[in-house]
């Protein structure tokens, strides 16, 4: 039986829509002290290097190819947040519950309620916190697991697109699943916006979209704090394994029309192929590393100081 509710306006119809259509619901995490500047600064102070990404982009062209990966060295969490507020960067904190159990409790509460309301069985839950500058953009991309975006502070415009070609070419999602391309490697055309669902996401609202739906985000002129939650179900896992196997098969039959169905004997065989290939570890060598070429610097223009590039594998 539900006690303290995560969602403020969940209705029966949302259980039918979840995972199949875009769903916009209310929550109360925007009132939590764990997303204040002090709490986030303390979290940043305790982060191990493998637990964050920091990015920037060309603020004039907004060209996706200008996206850069950086590092945080020698700064307090408070200095980092102030640099985000004044600069043009965004920080993604992964698995904050490993550093502070309060965030692990939030994640647990979300999925306990979501599973009870929808009747689905989710697992491999993950939470990431995004702290981003005014007017920053998150480029057109697609994520691999089931995902939901929760807005806490500031306002952002979210564009969600269909999860099929031409918005999501099959061979591109295969490469993303295999780790051979980053999520932002998808090609974007301005006319795609004619087919997008567009939402101004305000504090106390969340947005969920179907599996692998491409999306992009534009912050309003204010500091933004949000978090994402990720999950898997057996259905999502099978879709992942089929895409994984298709990506392997496509190396030998380029241009082939490979089914993405998760039903039937062929799908079962693909799931077996993907599982076996993952066990070998052969795919790890093909994963694309991150190139780190800037450092967060409060004294530098837009908070970005270039450094000698180096590769980082995660």
Model confidence over 95-152: pLDDT tens digits? 999 999 999 999 999 999 999 999 999 999 999 999 999 999 888 999 999 999 999 9
Fill in the DSSP letter of residue 49.
Answer: G
What lies within 8 Å, CB to CB, of 16 at 6+ separation is none
Mean pLDDT along residues 5-26: 95
Grade residue 228 by pLDDT with cuts at 50, 70 and 90.
very high
Grade residue 1 by pLDDT with cuts at 50, 70 and 90.
very low
pLDDT tens for each residue of 52-102: 999 998 877 767 677 899 999 999 999 999 999 999 999 999 999 999 999
* End-to-end CA gap in the chain: 40
Grade residue 2 by pLDDT with cuts at 50, 70 and 90.
very low
Residue 302's pLDDT is 94
In Å, what is the CA distance from 129 to each residue of 12, 92, 252, 266, 301? 29, 6, 39, 38, 24
Please choose, from the candidates 157, 154, 137, the residue with its C-alpha nearest in 3D space to the C-alpha of residue 59. Answer: 137
Sign of the CA dihedral with 295 first, then 297, 299, and 302 last: positive
Mean pLDDT along residues 43-54: 93
Asked if the model's pLDDT at residue 255 lies above 80, the reply is no
Angle between helices 77-86 and 37-45 (to 10 degrees): 120
Phi and psi at residue 160, in whole multiples of 5°?
A: -115, 130
Residue 282's pLDDT is 67
Asked if the model's pLDDT at residue 268 lies above 90, the reply is yes
Check: CB of residue 119 under 8 Å from CB of residue 196. no
Check: CB of residue 304 under 8 Å from CB of residue 200. no
Residue 28's pLDDT is 95
Mean pLDDT along residues 178-183: 84
Dihedral angle computed from the Cα positions of residues 125, 73, 305 and 309, in that order, rounded to the nearest 10 degrees:
-70
Percent of the chain residues past pLDDT 70, beyond the cut: 96
Angle between helices 170-178 and 234-250 (to 10 degrees): 100
């Amino acid at each position: 039986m539900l006690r303290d509710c995560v969602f403020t306006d969940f209705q029966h119809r949302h259980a039918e829509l979840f995972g199949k259509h875009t769903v916009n619901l209310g929550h109360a995490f925007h009132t939590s002290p764990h997303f204040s500047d002090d709490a986030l600064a303390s979290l940043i102070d305790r982060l191990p290097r493998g637990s964050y990404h920091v990015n920037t982009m060309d603020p004039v062209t907004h060209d996706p190819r200008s996206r850069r990966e950086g590092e945080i060295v020698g700064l307090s969490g408070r200095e980092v947040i102030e640099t985000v507020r004044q600069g043009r960067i965004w920080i993604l904190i992964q698995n904050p519950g490993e550093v502070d159990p309060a965030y692990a409790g939030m994640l647990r509460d979300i999925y306990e309620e979501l599973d009870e309301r929808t009747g689905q069985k989710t697992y491999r839950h993950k939470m990431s916190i995004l702290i981003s500058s005014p007017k920053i953009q998150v480029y057109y991309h697609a994520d691999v697991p089931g995902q939901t975006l929760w807005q806490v502070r500031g306002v952002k415009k979210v564009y969600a697109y269909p999860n099929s070609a031409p918005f999501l070419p099959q061979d591109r999602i295969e490469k993303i699943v295999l780790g051979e391309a980053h999520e932002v490697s998808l090609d974007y055309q301005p006319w795609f916006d004619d087919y997008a669902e567009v939402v101004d996401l305000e504090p106390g609202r969340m947005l969920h979209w179907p599996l692998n739906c491409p999306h992009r985000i534009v912050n309003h002129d204010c500091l933004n704090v949000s978090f994402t939650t990720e999950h898997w179900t057996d259905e999502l896992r099978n879709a992942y394994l089929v895409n994984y196997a298709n990506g392997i098969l496509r190396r030998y039959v380029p241009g082939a029309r490979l089914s993405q169905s998760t039903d039937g004997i062929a799908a079962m065989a693909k799931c077996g192929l993907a599982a076996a290939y993952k066990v070998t570890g052969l795919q790890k060598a093909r994963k694309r590393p991150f190139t780190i070429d800037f450092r967060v610097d409060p004294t530098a223009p837009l908070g970005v100081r270039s450094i000698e590039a180096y590769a980082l594998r995660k």
